[in-house]
Structure 1
């Protein structure tokens, strides 16, 4: 160590520290890539302290953590050093937006279905009452036919024994009948884990972290949702109640934006 320098000046760089730990653990770059799902060119670039291929600070931090764990060292000092070199971490996510996002997931807007059922029942009762009032001496069988949409006739028909169809049960893929006046986005990691970043139309950060395989999160905003997907090929995506067809490859970084109505990738 040279005179006048602090001990921190002689520490290896982030990339050098990861490379030394990998070699000490007897691992190849290919083995680290396979265990972390970080592509081989990106692992090489990180070991050379080139983070430009990571797709942003969020993914650079995630790659540093994953590689550090794979080679058996503590990732937090390296992440702190990265934050110090790149302007620090973003402001922590406010508690209210996170709580609201989780509440959307656990309570899929069932009051909308209740309101729709009540409105339908009121409409049917009103229509039947109007028909009975104007039908005079018509038989009940004719009244039932008018209520179902057929024209009233003089010939009496047999009363229908078919029970009314039960109201439809909302499926999870419909994201609980997403309201038309908002944009609703659901992300599910069904092909592995992926780092995701989610912002609302004001640029406020709703989520920044790792979505593990089998987990899902739902987000909602009145105008727009902006996404950054790390391992985009692992993500199953629903927008405004519509499942989007898989079109991303594993390890692909995607930046997307969605608004109300029929989803279109930004």
Structure 2
């Protein structure tokens, strides 16, 4: 085993992570992780992948990849220019496509602008001609139309009925306002989420005054979480990240407890019935935390 392998393995064990946990976080196959820890790179596709896997492994353990490469540069194989011809050919093909297409792209905006100007001018002309014709017809019709005066016999009765309707609506509105003022408003007690105990990386909370128990975990970076119910059954286990599955929600209303393992607390937000849980242990001090929530139903 190399010095690099020893350092990575010690850092992994210090965080309480197994090779399976690191495989879940980094998506690197376990056999490659074993090869890195043992200094055996023969099973990997090439030197480029060796360096890439070492970088991902170091970042998962919160180590500085640049410092790792500098300290163990004699152990980590350097990349060669074996894929340089392929990269150069890609650059050349892209450049040729860009040069050939640039002239077309220069002409297209001018054509589109010309079409837009012609279309706008045509629409403006159409609306002007139509408006002038309609105004002329309306003016001629109004000049030839005789003035008529019509007296409605039911005008007074209609006014009386409308006045009565307005009075009835005002009276109903006043009665509704009185009813609302007389009815007392009873506020439901707010739920209580209280930290009752903490030690090391373990903390315990009590949840009271609520009929439901729904836990939501949201990642603000990258974290591994595991949620178990009071029977020890895992309800969710996996990686949350802003580039993939960012959040998960677990309904534990029928359970008395929830056990939550957070791999990276600084990148994990926990909500209980939409109320954000405030870490009693600072995430910057303890990255991996074990959180227990004890649920006391509202009627008990």
Report the TM-score, using the length of structure 2 for normalisation. Answer: 0.36
Structure having the larger proportion of residues in helix: 2
* Greater Rg by CA: 2
Instruction: Give the TM-score normalised by structure 1.
Output: 0.40
